[in-house]
Every structure is written in C-alpha cells, then in structure tokens.
Chain A
Amino acid sequence: MFKQIKLAAIAATVVAAAGVANAAEFKPAIVFDMGGKFDKSFNEAAFNGAEEFKKGSGIDYMEFEVTQVSQREQAMKRMAKKGATIIVAMGFAQASAVEKAAKANPDTKFTIIDMVVDLPNVQSIVFKEHEGSFLVGMAAALSSKTGKVGFVGGMDIPLIRKFALGYVEGAKYAKSGTEVFQNMTGTTPSAWNDPTKGGELARSQFDRGADVVFAAAGGTGIGVYQAAKDSGKFAIGVDSNQNYMHPGTMLTSMTKRVDVAVKEAFATAKAGTWQAGIKVLGLKEGGVGYAVDEHNKGVLSADVVAKLEKARADIISGKLKVTNYMSK
C-alpha cells in the first residue's frame, strides 16, 4: 500500500517535472539543527533564505529538523538518495555528519554553515562573527550611560566565546574604561532555548549596573530582550535582524546573513557556479554587520552610527584588527 503511494508520488513528480524540465534536475535540500527552523535566530534565518529562494525560483526544497545526533547523517543520506542536488547543513555540529555523508555521496553538493569540512564536494561558509560583535560592542559602550555593558551567551562553546571576545574588544575600543559582564546560559544544548534563564541573567546584569545587553544565545535571547524591555534597558539582537521584536529597547542587532548564504548556495548550485572550498564572510563581504532600520532609529544615535561606520571601514581596510577567539 505504502509503496503504491510512493510510486504514485514519484509518477506525479515525473509528470509535473515534464513541464518544467529544468526544475526536475535541481533539487535543493536543507538540514536544520537542534534549534529548529523557528528559533527566531540562526536556523530561522536559514529558513527565510530557503523560502526566499523558493519564492524567486518556484522550486521547492526538502527539509529536515534534527532532534537526535544520529539523525543528521541519516537525513543527509536520505536526501542524497532522493536525488538532492545540493544539501545545506546548518551549524557547526553537523560537521562530522557532513563529512560522512559527503564521502558516501561524492556527486552530491554539500554546503555547511559555520564550520569547515575539507572535501572536494563540500563548500564551507564561515562568518567573522568577531567583527560584527566588535561593532555592536562599540554601539553598546557608546550608548551606555553607566559604563557597564553585558553579554549573555548561549551554550559555552568556542563559537560563542568568539562573539564574546569581539564584543568585549569593541566595547573597550569605544570607551577604554567600559566594564563588561559575561554570562553563559548553560553547558548543554538546551542553553540555546531557555528564555527564562536568559531573562534572569539579563536582570542580574542590570542589577549590577549594566544598561545594554548583547545576547548571542539563539532562542534564549527572547528572554533577554523581554527583560531589557521590562527594565527599560537596551538589548542587542543576534543573527537575524531582531530590532522589530521590541522597538525602542532594541539598540540594534548583530546580523549574520545566514539567509543570504543559504539563498546564495541554492542559487549558485542552480546556476552551476557553485564552488567547493571555504568561503569566509566578514564585514567586507557583508556577511556580518549591525542592523539599522525604522525600529531602532530613535535609540541608535547618528553620532554612534558614524563612529561604527568609521570602525567598519578601518576593519575592512585592515587598519583595525579584531582578535578571533578561534585562532587565538
């Protein structure tokens, strides 16, 4: 019975594909990680990118949200078996799964975000988060009245320490005496999705005198932003532009254009210009940055923006160096 359904489905696809021959050959796929595609942050940015591609090209994509470690490899192999042309894997945690699946399916293209996998059919896209964090660190220090700013990280891993280090450097660069409080939400993956604890950490930092808090914590950030709104302090969003969530108390967002990266990966694979290898996206490439839109116009002063723009130019030209925690 099930096989019949499957056959029928295949037949339907074939018939449908006959009309759009080009589309049948190109099958994009994406594997979201533990956070889930609606984490309002990293994975959701990827989801938005994929949706945008779908809207632009009319080509639907396969997707899977991982709940178990071993599902990553399983999902990728399933997608490859179903004829996926390109499989985008979200997040550093999928590296070993990509490695195995890419070796087993040398004809399938793989793109991994946030991690480097060195194989002939894998494209690795990494971001210079420290550069973006540096700028929002400056924004925090320049907007702070108390000279104290906070950082709430998600899970305590090198990637988040990279955010933290850039943020601290930026804050001290803008105003040398700035004090930075740092807290990590936890040591387990649940730290990516614990808004309650995020809120608590933010409040404790406010109690110690901080008046701007940067959350690099996935879904946990939602609690941080809420706490900032409740106490009338500023918060800085991460990954996606989150300014819209609480206009007036969101100072800015450190954007990491995961959506663009995903869309590009799909688009270049379709156009045939996709290339394996490492792609590093920093300020120069527009891969990271800070968000200015109608929601934070009133809180991020033009003076601060001017200083940030100057620092951005300096970082791009190499005049200003930001330490990368990973290569420290």
Chain B
Amino acid sequence: MSEQSAKFGTPAKVPAWVNLALIPFVNLMAAFFISGIVIFIVGDNPFQALEVLVYGAFGYADAIGYTLYYTTNFIFTGLAVAIAFHCGLFNIGAEGQALMSGLGVGLAALYLDFLPFWLVIPIAIFAAALFGAFWAAVPGYLQAKRGSHIVITTIMFNFIAASIMTYMLVEILIAPGGQSPESREFEAVTWLPFFHDFLPIPETPLNISFIFALLLSAAFYYFVWHTRWGYEIRVVGQNETAAKYAGISPAKNIVLAMFISGALAGFVGVNEVLGVHHRLILDFTGGFGFVGIAVALMGRNHPVGIFIAALLFGALYQGGSELAFEMKSINREMVIVIQGLIILFSGALEHMFRPKIEAFFKRKSTTQVAEA
C-alpha cells in the first residue's frame, strides 16, 4: 500500500475498509438522521421508531425469518443487476425477468407434478432460470446487434411480461372456479422445503432458496473474477473498443451477460412461487427487481457487498412493516419515505461524503509515506 503510493504520479489510495464499510455506514447514518427528523415532525419519537425497526427486523425468530426471506429476493435481483453492470449494461428489467421466471416455475409445477420431487423441482428451477434468461437475452440481443438501448427495452419488457402474466392467469392458468387471477395450489411434491420444516424455528416464508442465494453469490464471485468468461464480460464493460482489439466479441458478451442476469433474476420466481406461495399469482415480484438496482449499487457489484445491502433492505422491509404495525402514526407511506431516503443517500448521493472522507484518508496516507 505505502509502496504503491510512494511511486511518483500514482494517486494516493484509500484503505479498502473505508470504501466498503465506512462510506456506506456514513451514508446510512445520514439517511437515518433525516428520517428521524421526518418522524419527529410527524409527532413521534424517532428513537422509539428506530428501536421498533431494529427489533422488528432482528429481535425475534419470526422477524429474522422474514428478514432473511426478503434478503433472499434482494440477493438474486442484486446479483442480476450486478452482472449486467460488469458488462456496462443497466438492466432495469429484473422485475419482468422475475415475473417471467414465475411463469416458467408455474408451468413446470402445474403440468409436471406427476414426477417425483427430485425431478420436478430441478426442472422447475431450470425453467425459472431459462424463462428469466430468455426475457433478458432478447433485449441483450437487440442491444448487441441492433443498438436498441438496453434501458428502454428492458423497461418495455417489464410491461410485456406483466401483460403476458395477466393474460395467462386471467384466461388460461386461473384455478377452475376461481375468481381471482391465480393458479390452483401446486401439489405438495413441488414445494421447496421451508427452514421451519427441518429447524426448530417458528413458521416463516424462509425456505432453501436462501441457500441457493448464498451458493449463487459464491458462484458469481468465481465466475466474474476467476473465469475467462467473466474476464471477457468485464473487459467489454470497461472498454468495448479495447475488447474488440483483444479479440473479444462485445456482442457475444452482452448477450451472455444479459442471459446470466435474467437467469439470476429468475430465482426470485423460485423463492416466491415454488418456495412461499405454492401457486402462481400476479404480483409476486412486488418491486424486488427495482430494489435490486439499489442493492447492486450499494453493494458495489460485489457478492459480499450485495449480501450486506440485501440484508439491509430485507431488514428495512421487515422492520418497516413492523413499524407500520406497531406505531399508528407511521403508515406505509412513511415507511416508503424512510426506505427512499436510504436509497437516496446510499445510491444517488453517494458522492456527497465520499470526496471529503477520501481526501482525509489520502492526506493521512501521504503523511504516513512522508514519515516513512
């Protein structure tokens, strides 16, 4: 470290923990501070609210189960957005990709439930990944070959996905005799095991998808930083011209990155449809795809960061609902305000404190070098 910064002309470096821990923490505190002011204005005690929030997210077994269940979704969508980021692509379509994956899961679980669980569950998971991947690969192809901007096409694909889902559920997959647009309940053979099935904990929606999320995070790390494919994706993301010069096809890698991105987003369908609801419903994605963008931004597109950011958002979702439940003056709009402030400070206003903090540590490291 000091050796590097001692070299003439290289910029002074900031310790890694500042980047990964301190700056996010400062941003978070700023967000909590402003939220506290808002809660105070509404006429409540901000400290009590914070206590309810934290207790509601981590205070007892049920709460932890729900927090981790939300976290699972955010890990999937966070990873999905991150892999696209590594290729220089902004995938806003994780929501639609997750929705389509639900369709894949649903079709497999509805029509293949005569198979034993060790066959039908892998098929359903594979279908989820494939449907999600396809839904992302099409915009990827349009970007790579036709130059249609990925942001526009992925947003549009969200709406197309929603329309397809509505059509399928209202016209075709609706439970016989049912009124609301949802499929019949899947046969129990297709259900993913809940954590409370094999651990002595209360009933929560937490299921083994959480394990999938951890495994995929590890696979993500290995893929992006330790394989040739990951390397190519990163090169394309950083400099397309250089990639071409090095014999790497940008088009191929854009499609590949989007394909993987969609497959990752598709695991939301596994968690929600196969893990929790056991039936295909309309709005199971509930905005997880969009929050995934914030998760990836906060997590610096690194699996560890994404896990922490996903945990934070999971806690906010669970603690937030607790807040709305326990304190009457805090309604759900208020909870959205608090969540929004946190996204604002850690995503959009990321550079508010960064220059000052970095400058402080750079000064420190240069003085150290000078002393040395």
Q: Report if B283 contacts A (CB, 8 A).
A: yes
Within 8 Å by CB of B332, from A65, A186, A187, lies A65
How many residues belonging to B are interface residues under a CB distance threshold of 8 Å? 40
Determine which of A67, A156, A188 lies in contact with B170 in the assembled complex, contact meaning CB atoms within 8 Å.
A156
The answer to whether A156 and B166 touch across the interface, beta carbons within 8 angstroms, is yes
Measured between beta carbons, the chain A residues less than 8 angstroms from B332 are 36, 65, 67
Complex contacts, B181 vs chain A, CB 8 Å: 157-158
Chain B residues whose C-beta falls within 8 Å of the C-beta of A104 in the assembled complex: 203
Q: Is the CB–CB distance between A93 and B286 below 8 Å?
A: no
Residues of B within 8 A of A5 (CB): 48, 51
When C-beta atoms are compared, the residue in chain B nearest to A34 turns out to be B283
- Distance of B298 from chain A, by nearest CB (Å): 20
Against B, the Cβ 8 Å flags (1 = close, 0 = not) of A253-267 are 000000000000000
In the complex formed, the residue of A with least CB distance to B283 is A189
Query: Counting CB contacts under 8 A, is B325 at the interface?
Result: yes
**Which of B66, B159, B180, B283 is A115 in contact with, Cβ under 8 Å?**
B180
A95 within 8 A of partner (CB): yes
Asked whether, in the complex, the Cβ of B325 is within 8 Å of the Cβ of A75, the reply is: yes
Contacts of A70 in B (CB 8 A): 66, 69, 205, 276-277
Cβ of B335: which chain A residues have Cβ within 8 Å of it? 67
B94 at the interface (CB under 8 A from A): no
Chain B proximity mask over A201-221: 1 for CB below 8 Å, otherwise 0? 000000000000000000000
The complex places the Cα of A304 from the Cα of B12 at a distance, in Å, of 82
B190-248 residues with Cβ-Cβ distance < 8 A to A are: 203, 205
B180 CB contacts on chain A under 8 angstroms: 92-93, 95, 115, 157-159
Q: How far is the CA of A5 from the CA of B51 in the complex (A)?
A: 11
- Which residues of B have CB within 8 Å of A280? none
User: CB within 8 A of B179: which of A1, A64, A69, A158?
Assistant: A158
The one of B52, B179, B277 in contact with A92, judged by C-beta atoms closer than 8 angstroms, is: B179
CA distance A159 to B325 in the complex (A): 29
In the bound complex, residues from chain B placing their C-beta under 8 Å from that of A187 are 159, 162-163, 165-167
Report the bound CA distance from A319 to B321 in whole Å: 50
Residues of the A chain whose Cβ atoms lie less than 8 Å from the Cβ of B69: 70
* Residue contact B166 to A69, C-beta cutoff 8 Å: no
**Which residue of chain B is the closest to A66 with respect to CB atoms?**
B332
> Do residues A159 and B179 form an inter-chain contact, with CB atoms below 8 A?
yes
Shortest A91–chain B CB gap in Å is 9
Q: Which of A34, A64, A158 contacts B324 (CB 8 A)?
A: A64
Which A residues are CB-close (under 8 A) to B321?
64, 67-68, 71, 74-75
Report B76 CB to chain A, min CB distance, Å.
15
A302 interface residue per 8 A CB criterion: no
Residues of B near A158 (CB, < 8 A) are 170, 174, 179-181
Known: A115-B179, A158-B181. A69 touches B281 (CB 8 A): yes
Assembly CA distance A38 to B166 (angstroms): 26
Question: Number of residues in A with C-beta < 8 Å to the partner?
Answer: 32
Distance A74 CA – B65 CA, assembled complex (angstroms) = 11
Q: Give the residues from 171 to 189 in chain A that come closer than 8 angstroms, CB to CB, to chain B.
A: 186-189
A54 to chain B, nearest CB (A): 13
Q: A68 to B70, alpha carbons, bound, how many Å?
A: 10
Contact B282 A65 (CB under 8 A): no
Interface residues of B in 14-61 (CB under 8 A from A): 48, 51-52, 55, 59
Q: How far is the CA of A116 from the CA of B162 in the complex (A)?
A: 26
Q: Are B279 and A96 neighbours in the complex by a CB distance under 8 Å?
A: yes
Closest to A156 in B: B166
Q: What is the chain B residue whose CB lies nearest that of A36?
A: B332
| B325–A326 CB distance below 8 A | no
Q: In residues 254-312 of chain A, which contact B (Cβ within 8 Å)?
A: none
Query: A2–B179 contact, CB under 8 A?
Result: no
A68 touches which of B59, B170, B286, B331 (Cβ 8 Å): B286
A80-100 near B? 1/0 per residue, CB < 8 Å = 000000000000110110000
Is A188 a contact of B317 with CB atoms below 8 Å?
no
Q: Which residues from chain A contact B66 at a C-beta distance below 8 Å?
A: 70, 74
A36 to chain B, nearest CB (A): 7
Enumerate A115-149 residues with CB–CB distance to B below 8 Å. 115-116
Q: What is the CA–CA distance of A95 and B175 in the complex, to the nearest angstrom? A: 13
In the complex, residue of chain B having the shortest beta-carbon distance to the beta carbon of A186: B162
Q: Which of A2, A64, A69, A159 contacts B277 (CB 8 A)?
A: A69
Compute how far the CA of A5 lies from the CA of B181 in the bound complex, rounded to whole angstroms: 43
Whether the pair A157, B170 counts as a contact (CB closer than 8 A) is yes
Instruction: Indicate if A78 sits at the interface (CB-CB under 8 A).
Output: yes
Question: Which residues does chain B contribute within 8 Å of A95, judged by CB atoms?
Answer: 180
In the complex, which residues of chain B have a beta carbon less than 8 angstroms from the beta carbon of A93? Answer: 180, 281
Closest to B325 in A: A64
Give every chain A residue within 8 A of B361 (Cβ-Cβ).
Answer: none
B325 lies within 8 A of A69 (CB): no
**Residues 149-203 of B at the A interface (beta carbon under 8 Å):** 159, 162-163, 165-167, 170, 174, 179-182, 185, 203
Partner of B182, one of A2, A34, A96: A96
Closest chain-A Cβ to B43's Cβ sits at a distance in Å of 18
B284 within 8 A of A: yes
List B residues 73-91 near A (Cβ within 8 Å). Answer: none
Chain B residues contacting A115 (CB-CB under 8 Å) are 179-180
Known: A74-B66, A75-B325, A115-B180. A96 touches B283 (CB 8 A): no
What is the interface of chain A, defined by CB distance below 8 A to chain B? 1-2, 5, 34, 36, 64-65, 67-71, 74-75, 78, 92-93, 95-96, 104, 115-116, 155-159, 186-189, 326
Give 17 pairs: A residue, B residue, CB < 8 Å, sorted on A. A2-B52, A2-B55, A2-B59, A64-B321, A67-B286, A68-B321, A69-B272, A70-B69, A70-B276, A70-B277, A74-B321, A93-B281, A96-B185, A96-B277, A156-B170, A157-B180, A188-B162
Query: Beyond the given A69-B284, A92-B180, could you list 19 further A-B residue pairs with CB under 8 A, ordered by the A residue number?
Result: A2-B51, A2-B55, A34-B283, A36-B332, A67-B332, A67-B336, A69-B281, A70-B66, A75-B321, A93-B281, A96-B182, A115-B180, A156-B166, A156-B170, A157-B180, A158-B180, A187-B159, A187-B163, A187-B166
Chain B interface residues (CB < 8 Å from chain A):
48, 51-52, 55, 59, 66, 69, 159, 162-163, 165-167, 170, 174, 179-182, 185, 203, 205, 272, 276-277, 279, 281-284, 286, 317, 321, 324-325, 331-333, 335-336
Q: Which 3 A-B pairs have the closest CB atoms?
A: A187-B166, A92-B180, A188-B162
